[in-house]
C-alpha cells in the first residue's frame, strides 16, 4: 500500500552513515548467527529443556514464515518503488511478507521471555523486536505489514508452544508430528511450484524454484536434525547444564565455531556439485538437488549441535 511506501521513504530521509550503521546493528538480532548463539547458549549452557523448546519453536516458526512468503509472493519495497534504497542487500533475498528477521527475533527472544518470566527480559524483548522491525523498514526491505505480522506470528507461536510443551509429557512424539506436518507442507509446496513456476525476464524457472523453496527446505531440514539430535542426545549423551562460567564460555564459543564450520564446509561441498546461483532454464533436477542439499546441510548442522557436539562435554569434562 502507498502509505507503507511513504513510511519507508520517511525513515530513509534521515539516512546517513550513522543511522545506516545503527539500524544494521539492530537488524542483526534477527539474523541466523544471533539466533544460533541464543539457542546454543540456552541449550548447552543454561537449561537444556528450555533450549529444546526454543529450538523447535524457532524452526517451526521459520518454516511457516517461508511457506507464507511463497504463498503471497510479495515483492520487496525497493523492488516496488525505485526511490527506496536497499541499504543491506546481503540479507534481503526472496519475498517480503512476512518479515523473517522480525519473526525470528520475536520467536527466539519472545520464547525466552515466556519461559523465564523475568520482567526485565520481557521489556528487553519488546525493545529488541520493535527495533528489529523498524530497522527492516529503514533498510528498505520490508513493509509495515510485513514486520507487524512477522512480530505477531513470532510472539504468538512462542506463547502457543510454551502452553503446548508445558502440558506435553511425551515431547518426542510431538516433535515427530511437527516434523511430519512441516515435511508434508513442504512437499506440497514443492510439487505446486514444480508444476507452476515459469521463467521471468531476470531469472530462470529452475532458479525461481530454488529461490522460492530454499528457506523452507533449510528449516524442514533443521527440524529433522532437531528431532534426530534430541533422540540421540536422550539415549547416548544425556549431558547436564551447570553454572561454571569458564566451562560454559568454552561450550558456547566452541559450539558456535563447530556448527558454523559445518554450515560453511557443507555449503562449499554442495556448491561445488550444484551452484544455485547458476541454474538455467529447465534444470529442475539440479534445482531440486540444490534444495535437497540445503535440507541436508541444515539438518546436519542442527544434528551436530544438538546431538553430537554435547559428547564433547563428557569427553573433556566441560
Residue 117 CA to residue 16 CA, distance in Å, equals: 38
CA distance 156 to 153: 5
Reference 42, options 235, 251, 309, 233; nearest CA is 251
- Asked if 242 is an active-site residue, the reply is no
User: Residue for cell digits 528489529?
Assistant: 132
Torsion sign (Cα): 267, 273, 277, 282: negative
Answer for the pair 111, 161: CB distance below 8 angstroms, yes or no.
Answer: yes
CB atoms within 10 A of CB 171: 16
- Could you give the CA distance from residue 79 to residue 255 in angstroms, rounded to a whole number? 38
Residue 142 annotated to the active site: yes
Active-site pick, 88, 142, 218, 251 = 142
Catalytic residue among 48, 88, 101, 286, which?
Answer: 101
Catalytic residues: 101, 142
Amino acid at each position: 500500500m502507498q502509505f507503507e511506501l511513504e513510511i519507508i521513504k520517511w525513515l530513509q530521509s534521515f539516512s546517513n552513515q550513522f543511522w545506516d550503521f545503527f539500524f544494521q546493528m539492530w537488524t542483526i538480532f534477527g539474523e541466523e548467527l544471533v539466533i544460533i548463539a541464543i539457542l546454543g547458549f540456552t541449550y548447552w549452557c543454561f537449561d537444556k529443556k528450555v533450549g529444546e523448546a526454543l529450538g523447535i519453536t524457532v524452526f517451526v516458526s521459520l518454516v511457516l514464515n517461508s511457506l507464507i512468503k511463497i504463498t503471497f509472493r510479495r515483492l520487496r519495497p525497493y523492488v516496488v518503488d525505485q526511490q527506496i534504497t536497499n541499504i543491506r542487500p546481503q540479507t534481503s533475498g526472496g519475498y517480503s511478507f512476512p518479515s523473517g528477521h522480525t519473526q525470528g527475533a520475536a520467536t527466539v527472544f519472545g520464547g525466552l521471555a515466556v519461559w523465564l518470566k523475568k520482567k526485565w527480559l520481557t521489556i528487553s524483548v519488546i525493545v529488541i523486536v520493535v527495533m528489529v522491525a523498524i530497522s527492516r523498514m529503514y533498510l528498505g526491505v520490508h513493509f509495515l505489514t510485513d514486520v507487524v505480522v512477522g512480530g505477531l506470528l513470532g510472539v504468538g507461536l512462542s506463547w502457543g508452544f510454551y502452553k503446548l510443551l508445558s502440558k506435553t509429557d511425551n515431547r518426542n512424539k510431538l516433535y515427530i508430528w511437527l516434523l511430519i506436518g512441516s515435511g508434508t507442507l513442504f512437499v506440497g509446496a514443492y510439487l505446486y511450484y514444480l508444476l507452476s513456476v515459469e521463467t521471468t525476464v531476470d531469472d530462470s524457472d529452475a532458479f525461481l524454484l530454488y529461490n522460492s523453496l530454499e528457506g523452507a527446505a533449510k528449516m524442514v531440514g533443521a527440524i529433522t536434525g532437531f528431532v534426530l539430535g534430541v533422540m540421540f542426545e536422550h539415549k547416548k549423551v544425556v549431558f547436564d547444564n551447570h553454572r561454571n562460567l569458564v566451562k560454559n564460555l568454552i561450550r558456547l564459543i566452541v559450539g558456535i565455531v563447530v556448527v558454523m564450520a559445518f554450515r560453511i564446509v557443507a555449503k562449499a561441498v554442495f556448491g561445488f556439485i550444484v551452484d544455485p546461483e547458476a541454474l538455467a532454464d529447465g534444470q529442475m533436477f539440479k534445482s531440486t538437488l540444490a534444495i535437497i542439499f540445503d535440507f541436508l546441510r541444515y539438518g546436519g548442522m542442527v544434528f551436530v549441535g544438538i546431538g553430537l557436539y554435547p559428547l564433547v562435554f563428557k569427553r573433556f569434562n566441560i
